[in-house]
């Protein structure tokens, strides 16, 4: 995993911008702490920061390949999980290899197959290839959107990067937001419209999209979208197929030349990954698997059961340590440090994010990185297999709203009267734009049609927000986190699975539970869904309350938007919120933390309002 960036210019001699190019590269140094490289000509510069994971010696970038027609320059961020299969196709066509890195495979696959290579890859990636003679740039992002790829194309200057901060560092793009950007952060945030970078003139290559830049014109194409197909397998075949896809994805992702571990929460998804990885590693005579879990200091004293978080993780983690026979490490996070890390989490994401859900992952990854460079995590099974309560609550299932943020009342309440009058309309249009694009079959029942819509809403919104979180927080620590449930084969299969099979026996992720009966302890298989742990300690609420109170006393860009009286009332009466700000975890302490992140973002990014 790495960080990539590039600049193609009509008007500038980039040889004269070497100091600025270095500064742009340095913004990505946390993503790639092991080494950096740059390819530069008068009108183009490609930059790379490397986190060495596979073929440490021979995977350096930018990587160059020449054939009899063209010279290709590659910068690549990601990991292929079918490297040997693609390599085999290239060997059959006469290509030779100097390394066992997937980087060389990606480069030569593009040289051979051009844009068709994207459809051959199983992995998580964002990469760019420059064809020197043709003066054409190719950009490509993985089907699911696990790896980021932002760009800006303005006034003859084209820039791209793994993170927004690198583009802003160029000085070509100013940190300006207009009404659309304000609606994103105040009414959709921490979600973000796919393809939109919130700042004006910053966009992103979509999941499953590639693009060509030629003569400063960008041509974009989708090579992957969610497509409806008939599901033709019976219950038994579906159970077997589900198990195969998940296990195969996990095993493919265990390839690494550096130490590897697993995140373990005691929930179904991380337990499946841990058990499968441990069993597989034992068959290959490798060392015992290491696992990591996260908890908060004194959390057991203040834990509160809810419909979203019915029980604590500890006993289930212990059960899985015994079942999978792992070396386990529990990371205990301090509640004050959790609050103090909120600004760093904002810097890592380049935007206000999921509050302490972000900062806790940042601190957790920092600890894991002390011993490991690669980890596997259970994200995204809930979005694909109907794991969230909103899939199962028939009172809200058919509401025309984002199910994780059904009401904008609390968002409207913290804003001054008359601010962003079209906010609710903006949210509704964002919802409807997604629904209109859903692919379904004429034979779909009303329920199955709605479940395709829910799948799409979760895939293109909630899941993308979590993937942003996972990538930015982990890579900010130089830790590569892989997400086996994001294998595109699993996504395609789950999208077309009828609801009565997906929710087998009336349970969330019922098909997955049945698939791993006899492999996991039964208590784990049928444990009720419990989300990523959050702090319940009043020390944290006190910390964010005091910080926000201080912010409200200042004159700043943020306080021009915030209703001071209503926010102070929220601090005094934290229970008086009609619904969570976002998802299952963002209640009053997290709303205050989000305000704190907004303040950091406005000030440190020197945000200007158009």
What is the set of active-site residues? Answer: 2
Chain-centroid distance of CA 411 in Å reads 24
Can you name the residues that pair with 150 across neighbouring β-strands?
161, 204
> CA dist 248 to 87, 244, 383, Å?
19, 6, 20
Hey, is 142 helix, strand or coil? coil
Closest CA to 77 of 48, 100, 56: 48
Please check whether residue 75 is in contact with residue 48, taking contact to mean a CB–CB distance below 8 angstroms.
yes
**In the 8-state DSSP scheme, what is residue 497?**
S
Q: How many whole angstroms separate alpha carbon 12 and alpha carbon 154?
A: 13
Cis peptide before 190 (omega within 30 of 0): yes
CB neighbour class for 42 (10 Å; exposed up to 12, middle 13-18, buried from 19)? exposed
- Which residues are CB-neighbours of 286 under 8 A, at least 6 positions away? none
Reported in sequence order, the residue ranges of 135-228 that DSSP labels E, i.e. its strands, are 136-141, 150-154, 157-161, 176-177, 203-204, 209-214, 217-222
Under 8 Å between Cβ of 291 and 281: no
Angle formed by the axes of helices 314-324 and 268-283, to 10°? 20
2/32 Cα distance (integer angstroms): 5
Cα 255 from Cα 260, distance rounded (Å): 9
Question: Is the bond leading into 62 cis (omega within 30 degrees of zero)?
Answer: yes
Supply the Cα-derived Rg of the chain in whole angstroms.
24
Residue 199 DSSP code: S
548 is written with which tokens? 């926000």
φ, ψ (nearest 5 deg) of residue 591 = -65, -45
Question: How far apart, in whole angstroms, are the C-alpha atoms of residue 264 and residue 71?
Answer: 45
Are residues 295 and 332 in contact, defined by beta-carbon separation less than 8 angstroms? yes
Cβ 544 vs Cβ 589: under 8 Å: yes
Q: Which residues pair with residue 39 across a beta bridge?
A: 46
**Contact predicate 130/152, CB 8 Å:** no
């Amino acid at each position: 995993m790495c960080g990539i960036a590039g600049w193609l210019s009509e008007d500038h001699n980039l040889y004269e911008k070497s100091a600025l190019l270095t500064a742009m590269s340095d913004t990505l140094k946390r993503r790639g702490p092991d080494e950096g490289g740059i390819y530069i000509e008068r009108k183009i510069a490609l930059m790379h920061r490397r986190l060495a994971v596979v073929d440490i010696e021979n995977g350096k970038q930018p990587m160059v390949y020449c054939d009899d027609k063209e010279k290709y320059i590659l910068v690549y961020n990601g990991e292929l999980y079918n490297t040997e299969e693609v390599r085999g196709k290239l060997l059959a066509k006469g290509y030779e290899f100097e390394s066992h890195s997937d980087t060389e495979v990606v480069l030569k696959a593009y040289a051979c197959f051009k844009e068709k290579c994207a459809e051959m890859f199983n992995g998580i990636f964002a990469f760019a290839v420059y064809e020197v003679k043709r003066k054409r740039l190719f950009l490509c992002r993985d089907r699911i959107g696990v790896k980021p790829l932002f760009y800006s194309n303005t006034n003859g200057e084209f820039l791209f990067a793994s993170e927004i901060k690198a583009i802003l560092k160029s000085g070509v793009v100013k940190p300006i937001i207009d009404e659309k950007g304000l609606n994103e952060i105040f009414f959709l945030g921490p979600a973000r419209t796919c393809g939109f970078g919130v700042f004006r003139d910053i966009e992103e290559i979509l999941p499953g999209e590639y693009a060509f830049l030629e003569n400063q014109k960008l041509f974009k194409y989708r090579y992957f979208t969610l497509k409806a197909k008939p599901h033709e397998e019976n219950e038994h075949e579906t159970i077997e197929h589900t198990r195969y896809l998940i296990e195969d994805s996990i095993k493919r992702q265990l390839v690494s030349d550096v130490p590897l571990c697993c995140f373990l929460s005691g929930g179904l998804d991380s337990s499946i990954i841990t058990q499968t990885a441990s069993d597989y590693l034992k068959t290959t005579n490798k060392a015992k698997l290491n696992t990591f879990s996260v908890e908060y200091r004194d959390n057991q004293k203040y834990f509160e059961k809810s419909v979203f978080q019915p029980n604590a993780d500890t006993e289930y983690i212990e059960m899985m340590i015994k079942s999978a026979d792992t070396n386990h490490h529990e990371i205990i996070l301090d509640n004050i440090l959790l609050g103090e890390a909120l600004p760093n989490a904002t810097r890592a994401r380049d935007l206000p994010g999921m509050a302490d859900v972000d900062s806790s992952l940042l601190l957790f990854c920092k600890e894991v990185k002390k011993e490991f460079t690669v980890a596997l995590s259970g994200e995204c099974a809930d979005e694909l297999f109907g794991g969230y309560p909103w899939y199962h609550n028939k009172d809200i299932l058919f509401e025309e709203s984002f199910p994780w943020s059904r009401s904008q009342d609390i968002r409207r309440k913290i804003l001054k009267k008359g601010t962003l009058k079209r906010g609710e309309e903006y949210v509704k249009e964002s919802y409807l734009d997604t629904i209109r694009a859903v692919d379904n079959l004429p034979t779909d029942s009303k329920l199955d049609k709605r479940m395709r819509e829910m799948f799409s809403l979760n895939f293109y919104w909630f899941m993308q927000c979590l993937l942003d979180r996972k990538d930015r927080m982990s890579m900010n620590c130089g830790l590569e986190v892989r997400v086996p449930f994001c294998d595109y084969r699993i996504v395609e299969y789950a999208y077309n699975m009828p609801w009565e099979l997906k929710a087998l026996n009336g349970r969330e992720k019922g098909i997955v539970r049945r698939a791993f009966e006899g492999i996991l302890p039964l208590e784990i298989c049928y444990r009720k869904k419990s989300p990523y742990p959050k702090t319940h300690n009043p020390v944290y609420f006190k910390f964010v309350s005091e910080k926000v109170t201080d912010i409200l006393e200042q004159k700043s860009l943020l306080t021009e938007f915030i209703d001071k009286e209503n926010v102070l009332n929220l601090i005094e009466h934290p229970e008086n919120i009609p619904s969570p700000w976002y998802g299952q975890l963002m209640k009053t302490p997290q709303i205050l933390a989000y305000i704190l992140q907004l303040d950091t973002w406005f000030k440190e990014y020197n945000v200007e309002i158009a």
